[in-house]
Every structure is written in structure tokens, then in C-alpha cells.
Amino acid sequence: MNWLVDFFGDPANWSGPDGIPVRLTEHLQFSTVALLLAMLVALPLGLWIGHTGRGALLVVLSANAARALPTLGLLVLVVLLAGLSTDLPVLIPLVALAVPPILVNTYEGVRGVDPDLRDAAYGMGLRGGQVLGRVLVPVALPLILLGLRLAAIQVVATATVAAFVGLGGLGRYVVDGFATNDYPRTLGGAVLVALLALLVQLVFVLIQRLLVSPGVRRRNAVR
Amino acid sequence: MITFDEVTKRYADGTVAVDRLTLEAPTGEITVFVGPSGCGKTTSLRMINRMIDPSEGRVLLDGVDVTTIDPPTLRRGIGYVIQQAGLFPHRKIVDNVATVPYLLGWDKKKARDRAMELLERVGLDLKLAGRYPFQLSGGQQQRVGVARALAADPPVLLMDEPFSAVDPVVRTSLQEELLRLQAELNKTIVFVTHDIDEAVKLGDRVAVLRVGGHLAQLDDPATLLSRPADDFVREFLGRDRGIRRLSFVSGHEVGLRADLTVPVSTETAGLRDTAEPWLAVLDEDGRPLGWARTDDLPASGTLAGVPLAPYGTFDRGRDSLRAALDATLLSPSGCAIAVDDAGRAEGVVTREALSEALDRVAGGAHA
Amino acid sequence: MREEPLVRWDWIGRNWPSIQSLLEDHVVMSLVPIVVGLLVALPLGLACVRWRGIYQPTMSLMNVTYSLPSLAVFVMLIPVTGLATRATVIVPLVFYSLAVLIPAVVDGLGSVPDHVRQSAVAMGFTPLRRLLLVELPIAVPVVLAGLRVAAVSSISLVSVGALVGRGGLGYLFIDGWQRQFYTPIIVGVVLVVLLAAIADALLVLAQRLLTPWSRARGTA
């Protein structure tokens, strides 16, 4: 506990370019951009594959690959190959690791919708886009949101690790603390990251409550 | 009117689901497609609203080839009810019913008012309107399905085994509800089922299809039952076809015996010698009280003190001979008591009279 | 900048003994959480099926644990388990495995058709025999599917431990980064992925052998 008091009690840690507000903002900005980019790729693709049934193999392969690829190795390799001039190269592995959970769960969510429901929707005269937007997405929404939540948590975690290859954010405290044998700093960073992850989890629970119809049953996410 | 003109559906693998089907489903009537699984009945139905398009031939809706109409537009003018109801789980019951009105661009208030009106019409408690589908029983969901199909007041209703997934008691009440609704609405209904009882109960016309999508027979239920076109239809109708036929014969067709009824005030002394084993005892107003066994009558007194056996009645003006047959089975006398609207006995129907009426109506066709 | 080949085979040859010991360390640190996780998840999963009420709280706790970034948890454990020890990496991974395996056990037992359970009762199986001889065998495919996810994730996550001084093959990433040298990084990535693929294949094989009557349900 003393370590935490050392870190959080030090006013120097609350201001300046290495202060908690700046690092937190960096972390949030970077994670948000990565998540949005991943959504931009994975949501339409997942909806399309789930709706048409074409390309299911791609989904399975990407999920397996994302689980097997070591985050740290991927970060180090990509950044080393692309150079350190900007933060952009770090985005590549971040986005790449966030895509599969969204993709798999969106796909599974849409694919798992009762065929009778589709039949009824078309039979009543909904057009393809209306079937997707008014029936398939609302019914698949719990799983889609779970996929987004897993991706968001993944991004927050990976962004922490990415401090090792020079990215800003809360991971800096962890990595720099280690480099200077300053354990209070490392621990303080870890606690902040953990709190941020819990906050993300909480935000998604709230979004879920807000957006998902009470008539739709929950299903298990694909990790 | 819906017209099938030499319609064939052949799939890519060569299977023929429907083979040169030609028939008409007249406006304002219920036409039932019935047959074993694989007979193409659902495929045929789904060609009407273009869920499937025919390989050859044409399906006409009031003379217009349906393949010339954009499918969503076509479907919004045709009600569609399927087996599992297919209600949208994420929408409240009222919004489920209002689906097509919303699609047609009605304003929300008007669409919801219409939905409430329909929920009432199909016999649902309006308290259910704000619930979600999973909170309803199977039978209630099916009623919602029917209400949803009727929401935009389409002239045509397609029903694909709508009552197959509910238990028999609920099914019976849903069937009666449909007949009651149809009497008010006069829709052109095409109804698919594998259940011949349901077919003859609901259909104005019944099309029996055989495996491979051939039309075996198209007739009204009474004709179908009395004159099956071939062995397949006869087999499909089953052994109890004769009893089913009685449902289509009016109670007026049977002869009555007035001499088998006696008022309760009658002295027993004069009755003990009759040759009849049973007499129907009536109260002062002429309503039946029960059957008295002549052998057991006491030597003196009136019928008032005599133990009576149970009885069955049927209304000659409203009921079919099927009801008369059921009524005969309720009593140890083996006879049914025919009553009028007010419940007063008009006479007694014996088993002999029943079988004689049946012979006459069947016109010599072998049963 | 001189042209450097992506992979320098001679480096691999020279350093093979140390790569091998990192590999061994990696296998131990990823295998232990899976085995321990399974041993804990089975009774916990059974308890969740037996007492439905504890399932939701258990899963909420597991979901929270699962959402914590591994690096943060490693760091927070250091005062308890020590710097650069296997335990620092193994303990969090046990919890990640549980988050996947407990629902797998619950779903697996839930996948036993009710008529099968009923007929087992009707034939006079005692509850324990019914569990061992009927319900668990039927649950195997679903449990193994969960085990595959847990194993592959666990193998990949171990390497993050390198940032707190103990990450098996993850050390190769640190080494390669510090020397701006591709070969160790590529060797590390390839070995981790290979290890994951082998573990996955072994579990698929195990399922075929254990449940010859069924084929793998869902690969995702």
C-alpha cells in the first residue's frame, strides 16, 4: 500500500507531460482510435459474412490466429520493421488484434439468428437491408456488443504493452518504472491500467443495458 | 383469386418439388394444401409471395403474374403466418403486430391503434401488448402471428402450418378462431397443413398433394371424403373417413321419431308394455330429462320418481350428423335427442335413422 | 544501413541451447495454468450446475478478472510471488483459464440432453455414476473446445511475462528489440505459434480419441 501512496501521493505525477492526466488521455485516445478502426473493418465484414454465410472460414482462421499470436512479439516485430518515426506502426498490431473478437462475435451473432425469424421478416416484405438493420442486428446485438467489449479490453491491454516499443499512455509508468527500478511507479501504472479496464467493462455493461432490447436473450461470447 | 398455371419448381440438384401444378384459390375462400412431407405444399405456398420463384409456369394474383411484382412490395400486400410464429424477439407485441403498417409508412399512432384493434380481434388480452414474445405461450404467440399478418388488411393470407407446433386443445381453439375471423373478414386464404382433420375442418376447398408435387385431388371437403379420386387420396384420408364425412351432412337430413318421447307426468302403468326398450323423458316445457328403461319401470305412479340414464342432444338446425353420432354415444339407449334452439326435444334419432341418412346422402358411393 | 537478412540461421544454431531452455520454461508456464485451471474448473462448474444461483456471481467475477490486462496483473503480483518467478506468470493465467473453462464445463453439462439424463436415472444410475459414466463423457466435446481456447491463449500470454522478467520465449522479443535484431523476434513468434498449433492439434486428437461418437463442435 505504501508504494501506491508514494506514487499517487506525489504531486509531480499529476502534472506535466508524464503526469497521470496526460498519460490517461494518451491511452484513451490511442485505444479509441484503434477500436474505431477495428470496428470499421470488422463490423461490416462480420455482418456481411453472417448475413450471406460467405467467408466463414476467414472468421475462424482470424480468431485462431489472434489468440495464438503473441502480442509483444507482434508489436516488436511490426514497429522494428516499420521504424519508430511515428506512432502509426503501433496501430497496426493494435487494430489487428482487436478485429477478430468483433468479427467472430458479430458473425456468430448474426448467423445464430433463428431462421424462422429471417423467413418471417422477408415474408412480411422487409428488404435485405431492412432485415439486417431491423431484425438481425437488434437480435444479434448482445453478442456484437460482447465482441466490442472483448476488443476494447484487448486494445487497452495491448496499448499498455506497447509502451515497451515507445508508445505513450499508462504503460509508460510500468515500463519506465521497471527500467529505473522504481516499483511504486510500475505498480501505480498497473493499478491505473486495471482501473481503466474495469471502467471499459462497466461502460459496455451500461451500453448493453441501454441498447439491447429486454426481449432478446443473452448468449455466450466467443473469447 | 390466386391461380397456379402449370407451375413447376425444379431445384439445381434435379429434384422436382412441384410438378405442373394447376389450380385456383378463389377469392374469399380458404384453400388448404394438404399432403405428406415432401409433397411440395410449402414450396407451392411460398411461390405465391415469391419467397421461392417457379422454374416454369406462372403464379397469378388476380390475373397478374407475381414475378412481375417487386417481392417486398408484393409481400407487404400478403399476410404471412408461419409455424413458429417468427415474432421479432426484440420488439414488444404491439410493435410486432404493427410491423407491416410501419413498413408502409403509417404514422406510429395509427399503426399502434390498428395493432391493438387486431390483438383484440384475435382474442388476446390487451395487457399482453406491452410484453415481449418470450413472455407469451405458444398459442398466444401464434395468435399474435395471425394478428401481425392481418395488420395492413391484406386481401390474401398465406398460412404455413401455423398451428402445428401447439398442443391439440390450443390448436382446436385457434382453428375455431380462424373460422370465426374468416366469417368476418372474407380473406383469400391459402393454408398449408399435413393434418387431414385440420384440412377438412378449415378448407372451403382442399388440394391433396402427393410426394413429388403432383395434385392428387382438389375438391370441397365433403366431396373429397365421399369420393376420393384414387387410392393415394383414400389412403391419406384414412380409415375414419366415413365418420369425418358426417361433419358435412346437415342435421336436417336425418329422420326423427316423435313416438319415443314422453312427458314426465305420464303414468308408468301404460308404458311397461311398449316394445321399445328406452323412452326419452321430457319436462313440462318439453326439454329432455333423461332416458327411462321400460323394463325397469315401477307398476304405478308417474315417471317423476324413476331413475333416468344420461342423454345426449344435438341441434338439428345448427349441428351436423357428426354431432348426432356423438350424441348417440353419450347415452346407453344408443339414440340421440334432437332439440330446437330453445332446447326443446323435437324427436329422437336412432342409429338406424343415422345410417339410413348417410346412405341417402352418400348417393350410393361406397364408404 | 547495411542489408540485414530477416533471419540469420547461424544465430539460431549458435543460440539453440538457450532457445531450448526458454522453450521449456514457456511450456511449463503455459501448461500448468491449463491443468490447474481444468482441475479447479471441473468441481466449480459442477457446483455452478448443482446450485444455479452461484453461476452468475462466479461468472461476473471471472469476467472482471478476465478483463484485467495481463501486464497489470503480473506487476501487481510481484510483491506476493516475487520478481521474475514462474508463479508471477502462472497465477494470473490460471484465472484467465478459469474464465474460459468454467462456462465450458457448465455449457458442456448443459449440453447433455434431458432425455439422456432421465433415462440414466430411470435405469438406476447413482448420481455419481451418472456423472462419471454419462454426463461427463457427453460434456467432453464442449469442455475440450474451451480447453483449446484456454491453451492457445495461455501459450501466447506467457510471453508478456518477459516484461516482468519471466516470459519464456517472450525473452526473445525483448532481446531482439534491444539489439534491433529481427532473428530472435521471428524465432520467438514462430515458436509460440507453433506451440499453440501443436497444443490445439493434441487437444483435437484427444477429443477424437475420448469421444469417438462425436466430431468437434465449433472451432471458434
Reading phi first (left if > 0) and then psi (alpha if -120 to 50, else beta), residue B116 is in alpha
Where do the H-state alpha helices sit in chain A?
2-9, 20-52, 56-68, 71-82, 88-111, 115-123, 128-130, 137-161, 171-179, 183-211
Length of chain A: 223
Least confident stretch, B112-116, B284-288, C92-96, C154-158 = B284-288
What SS3 state is found at C3? coil
Q: Does the CB of C220 have a partner CB in chain A at under 8 Å?
A: yes
User: Which chain A residues touch B146 with a CB distance below 8 Å?
Assistant: none
Exposure class string for B336-365: b at 16+ Cβ within 10 A, else e:
bbbbeeeeebbbbbbeebbeebbeebbeee
pLDDT on residue A223 = 60
Among candidates B75, B99, B132 on the partner chain, residue whose Cβ is nearest the Cβ of A215: B132
Where do the H-state alpha helices sit in B98-156?
99-103, 108-121, 138-150
What is the signed CA dihedral for C87, C91, C94, C99, rounded to 10 degrees?
-160
Among candidates A77, A186, A197 on the partner chain, residue whose Cβ is nearest the Cβ of C185: A77
pLDDT on residue B367 = 39
The residues that bridge with B261 in the sheet, in sequence order, are B280
Angle at A204 between CA A198 and CA A207, to 5 degrees: 145
Please answer yes or no on whether A201 and C64 come within 8 Å at the CB atom: yes
Where do the H-state alpha helices sit in C51-181?
55-67, 70-81, 86-110, 114-122, 127-130, 136-158, 170-178
Residue A139's nearest CA partner among B150, B86, B147, C111 is: B86
Cell of A154: 484487448
Residue with cell 519508430: A84
Calpha distance B34→A152 (Å, rounded): 54
Q: How confident is the model at residue C218 (pLDDT cuts 50, 70, 90)?
A: very low
- Angle between helix C182-210 and helix A71-82 axes, rounded to 10 deg: 150
The whole-chain average pLDDT of chain C stands at 90
Residue B161's nearest CA partner among B119, B195, B203 is: B195
- Asked if residue A178 is part of any domain, the answer here is yes
Contact present, C and B (at least 3 Cβ pairs less than 8 Å): no
Calpha distance A54→A61 (Å, rounded): 14
The residues that bridge with B61 in the sheet, in sequence order, are B2, B64
pLDDT on residue B363 = 53
Among candidates A124, A212, A214 on the partner chain, residue whose Cβ is nearest the Cβ of B100: A124
Please answer yes or no on whether C75 and A189 come within 8 Å at the CB atom: yes
pLDDT on residue B268 = 83
What SS3 state is found at B76? helix
pLDDT digits (tens, 9 = 90+) for B80-135: 999 887 899 999 999 999 999 999 999 999 999 999 999 999 989 999 999 999 99
Fold of the domain built from segment(s) C9-210:
MetI-like fold (1.10.3720)
Reading phi first (left if > 0) and then psi (alpha if -120 to 50, else beta), residue C135 is in alpha
Total Cβ atoms within 10 A of residue A94: 29
pLDDT on residue C216 = 45
Please answer yes or no on whether C185 and A76 come within 8 Å at the CB atom: yes
Q: How large is the average pLDDT for residues C23-52?
A: 94
Please answer yes or no on whether A125 and B90 come within 8 Å at the CB atom: no
Reading phi first (left if > 0) and then psi (alpha if -120 to 50, else beta), residue B85 is in left
Q: How large is the average pLDDT for residues C42-67?
A: 90
User: What's the 3-state SS for B23-56?
Assistant: EEECCCCEEEEECCCCCCHHHHHHHHCCCCCCCE
Task: Name the residue of chain C whose CA is nearest to A164's CA.
Answer: C163
Q: Which residues of C, range 94-153, sit inside 8 Å of A by Cβ? A: 99-100, 103, 107, 149, 152-153
Calpha distance B351→B366 (Å, rounded): 19
Residue A67's nearest CA partner among C150, C203, C16, B230 is: C150
Among candidates A125, A213, A215 on the partner chain, residue whose Cβ is nearest the Cβ of B100: A125
pLDDT on residue A58 = 87
Calpha distance B4→B45 (Å, rounded): 10
Q: Check whether B77 has a pLDDT greater than 80.
A: yes
Mutate to test the interface with B, among A113, A116, A124 (most CBs of B within 10 A): A124
Least confident stretch, A49-58, A129-138, B98-107, C66-75 = A49-58
User: Which chain C residues touch A60 with a CB distance below 8 Å?
Assistant: 219-220
- Asked if residue A66 is part of any domain, the answer here is yes
Least confident stretch, A156-165, B171-180, B290-299, C29-38 = B290-299
Mutate to test the interface with A, among C88, C96, C185 (most CBs of A within 10 A): C185
CB C48 within 8 A of CB C134: no
Q: Check whether A182 has a pLDDT greater than 70.
A: yes
Calpha distance C55→C124 (Å, rounded): 29
Calpha distance A222→A101 (Å, rounded): 7
Q: How large is the average pLDDT for residues B303-328?
A: 85
pLDDT on residue C117 = 87
CATH of the structural domain B2-246, one choice from 3.40.50.300, 3.90.1150.10, 3.40.50.150, 3.40.50.2020: 3.40.50.300
User: Which chain B residues touch A130 with a CB distance below 8 Å?
Assistant: 103
Q: Check whether C215 has a pLDDT greater than 60.
A: no
Cell of A122: 422477408
Kindly list the domain boundaries of chain C, sorted by start residue. 9-210
Residue A71's nearest CA partner among A148, A157, A147, A8 is: A157
pLDDT on residue C121 = 87
In this complex, the chains that touch C, judged by 3 or more CB pairs closer than 8 A, are A
Is C113 exposed, middle or buried, given 0-12, 13-18 or 19+ CB atoms closer than 10 A?
Answer: exposed
Task: Give the full edge-to-edge strand order of the sheet including B56-61.
Answer: B16-25, B2-10, B56-61, B64-65
Domain count, chain A: 1
Nearest chain C Cα distance for residue A222, angstroms: 7
CA dihedral over B260, B266, B270, B273, signed as positive or negative: positive
Please answer yes or no on whether A119 and B86 come within 8 Å at the CB atom: yes
What SS3 state is found at B250? strand
Least confident stretch, A117-131, A158-172, B243-257, C75-89 = B243-257
pLDDT digits (tens, 9 = 90+) for B152-165: 999 999 999 999 88
Report, in angstroms and rounded to the nearest whole number, the Rg of chain B calculated over CA atoms. Answer: 26
Q: How confident is the model at residue A62 (pLDDT cuts 50, 70, 90)?
A: confident
Q: Check whether C139 has a pLDDT greater than 60.
A: yes
Least confident stretch, B184-188, B300-304, C61-65 = B300-304
Instruction: Supply φ then ψ for residue B60, to 5 degrees.
Output: -110, 140
- Asked if residue A220 is part of any domain, the answer here is no
Calpha distance B95→B132 (Å, rounded): 10
Q: Name the pTM for this structure.
A: 0.80
Q: Does the CB of C11 have a partner CB in chain A at under 8 Å?
A: no
Range of the domain at A28: 2-211
Q: Which residues of C, range 39-58, sit inside 8 Å of A by Cβ? A: none
pLDDT on residue B364 = 45
Kindly list the domain boundaries of chain B, sorted by start residue. 2-246, 252-362
Calpha distance B184→B186 (Å, rounded): 6
Total Cβ atoms within 10 A of residue C219: 14
Write the CA distances from A200 to A26, A71, C67, integer angstroms.
15, 20, 9
- Asked if residue A222 is part of any domain, the answer here is no
Kindly provide the ipTM of the predicted complex, given to two decimals: 0.87
Chain-centroid distance of CA B141 in Å reads: 20
Residue C102's nearest CA partner among C141, C65, C73, C59 is: C59
Please answer yes or no on whether B86 and A126 come within 8 Å at the CB atom: no
Q: How confident is the model at residue C220 (pLDDT cuts 50, 70, 90)?
A: very low
Q: Check whether A221 has a pLDDT greater than 80.
A: no
Residue B257 per-residue DSSP state:
B
Mention every residue, 6+ apart, whose C-beta is less than 8 A from residue B364: none
- CATH number of A86's domain: 1.10.3720.10
CATH of the structural domain B252-362, one choice from 3.10.580.10, 3.30.450.40, 3.10.20.810, 3.40.50.300: 3.10.580.10
Is B266 exposed, middle or buried, given 0-12, 13-18 or 19+ CB atoms closer than 10 A?
Answer: middle
Mention every residue, 6+ apart, whose C-beta is less than 8 A from residue B234: B228, B241
**Largest distance between two CA atoms of chain B:** 85
Task: Name the residue of chain A whose CA is nearest to C163's CA.
Answer: A175
Nearest chain B Cα distance for residue A96, angstroms: 32
The whole-chain average pLDDT of chain B stands at 89
Nearest chain C Cα distance for residue A108, angstroms: 9
In this complex, the chains that touch B, judged by 3 or more CB pairs closer than 8 A, are A
Residue with cell 338406424: B352
- Asked if residue A69 is part of any domain, the answer here is yes
User: Which chain B residues touch A134 with a CB distance below 8 Å?
Assistant: 88
- Asked if residue A219 is part of any domain, the answer here is no
In this complex, the chains that touch A, judged by 3 or more CB pairs closer than 8 A, are B, C
Angle at C44 between CA C39 and CA C50, to 5 degrees: 135
Please answer yes or no on whether B88 and A135 come within 8 Å at the CB atom: yes
Calpha distance B244→B231 (Å, rounded): 18
Cell of B180: 370465426
